[in-house]
Amino acid sequence: MALIVQKYGGTSVGTPERILNVARRVIASQQEGNSIVVVVSAMSGVTDGLIKLARDVSSQPTEREMDVLLATGEQTTIALTAMAINGLGGKAVSLTGAQAGIITNGIHTKAKISNIAPRQVRQYLKEGFVCIVAGFQGQTLEGRITTLGRGGSDLTAIAIAAAVKADMCEIYTDVDGVYTCDPRVVPNARKIDVIAYDELLEMASSGSKVMQSRSVEFAKKFKVPFEVRSSFNTNRGTIVKEESIGLENVVVRGVSIERKQAKVTITNVPDKPGTASRIFTALSEANVIIDVIVQNVSVSGSTDISFTLSADELEKLGNLIDRVAAEIGAGQVTKKSGIAKLSVVGIGMRSHSGVAATLFESLGHGGVNIQMISTSEIKIAVIIDEAQIELAAKLAHTAFGLDRVS
Ligand code: ADP
Ligand code: ASP
Ligand code: MG
């Protein structure tokens, strides 16, 4: 008998019919002799709807109350899923994040899990119940409701799987697994059979939102293998696990894109110790998250510095950067939205050369201009015009031999 954690995302529980589909799948899996913990997201669109409601009543909703509000999305789904299973003759019980023992720090809307004590889950499982746990939510030690950041039900599932020492963790979604690129962007993307944690982590943190990146980080840290698969069929999905021999034979595992980025350039920055620190300390104090940073070669004692951030963060920035530029005696500040990032990812890059050349050549031939470049051991990322991002993804996908052969 296996202990399985199954997570169903928003689309998979998006209608009453789909909740009944989940209920049938869960009952079937239990009838095969397994013990099942189910983690569910809010029905698709519900979290976005709640955020909109909050903004309708306040331009800056209090974060504590935001979490109280957002947690209701998942609370609706646990009740409906448990009712559906019970209605079909199964035996299920719903548990909020708090009841499932998920303790977090107090950083509202992006809380981190600090401890999990799933006593009630263990007890109900022992009594033969399917436990339906609300994803995305927890509580602080003082009992305040918190949420784990967008896509946080993935994290709930991985964390519960680690805590109950599940034999398997299955992430059910609306695609057949992790693809070589978002299949909505590159229609002939292929499903990946096996991927290393580090590769999915890089893909997820550079725009492939099929899994929340923090959940992959958690899975890597606590060595929780999992499978991403579809709730609409029974096809095998993508196994995500530690690196193993053979995985590095593939140079590029996948291509990620991230739209809605922005670029800030400060010209004529005095080229002396401490100026970069002044700029980036001010940004960090304003909690602005920076992505790629490029500093040019200095010409006659001054240099240009460019950095990227999400377009939303640019709004948060206001005129902060103009003030800092004036203080350090720099020249003009230009802010440009409408840019995007394309990343190619693969652990095979560590042992293969020519990856950058192949990427740049494919983009160059396709008429895509590269504005900035950044690399890590297993990733090469380029900043380009947002209008060309889909074209660029298709060019890179083909150049690295990732296209599906039909
Ligand atoms: P869920 O609601 O089940 O959590 P998400 O919408 O969060 O589902 O994630 C699934 C979506 O992720 C897919 O519909 C797909 O468009 C998108 N996606 C982005 N990149 C990839 C990728 N590389 N492989 C598969 N899906 C991807
Ligand atoms: N409902 C939350 C969101 O939309 C959490 C999740 O779906 O994983 O981000
Ligand atoms: Mg998701």
Q: Which CATH superfamily is domain 3-174 in?
A: Acetylglutamate kinase-like (3.40.1160.10)
The closest-lying atom of ligand 1 relative to the alpha carbon of residue 9 is 3
Task: Judge if the beta carbon of residue 101 lies within 6 A of ligand 2.
Answer: no
Rounded Cα distance, 209 and 194, in Å: 18
Residue 95 pLDDT: 98
Write the pLDDT tens digit of every residue in 151-193: 999 999 999 999 999 999 999 999 999 999 999 999 999 999 9
Task: Judge if the beta carbon of residue 41 lies within 6 A of ligand 1.
Answer: yes
Whether pLDDT at 287 is above 90: no
As annotated, the residues of the chain forming the CATH 3.40.1160.10 domain(s) are: 3-174
What type of residue sits at position 285? Answer: E
Q: Which CATH superfamily is domain 255-399 in?
A: VC0802-like (3.30.2130.10)
Task: Judge contact between 177 and 228, C-beta under 8 A.
Answer: yes
Q: 62 C-alpha to center of ligand 2: Å?
A: 19
Ligand at minimal distance from the CA of 216 is 3
Residue 230: how many CB atoms within 10 A of its CB? 17
Residue 315 pLDDT: 83
Task: Judge contact between 301 and 263, C-beta under 8 A.
Answer: no
Task: Judge if the beta carbon of residue 135 lies within 6 A of ligand 2.
Answer: yes
As annotated, the residues of the chain forming the CATH 3.30.2130.10 domain(s) are: 255-399
Rounded Cα distance, 406 and 182, in Å: 18
Task: Judge contact between 211 and 169, C-beta under 8 A.
Answer: no
Q: 206 pLDDT band (50/70/90 cuts)?
A: very high
Whether pLDDT at 406 is above 80: no
Whether pLDDT at 35 is above 80: yes
- Average pLDDT for 280-304: 90
Strand-pair category, 35-40 with 92-95: unpaired
Q: 344 pLDDT band (50/70/90 cuts)?
A: very high
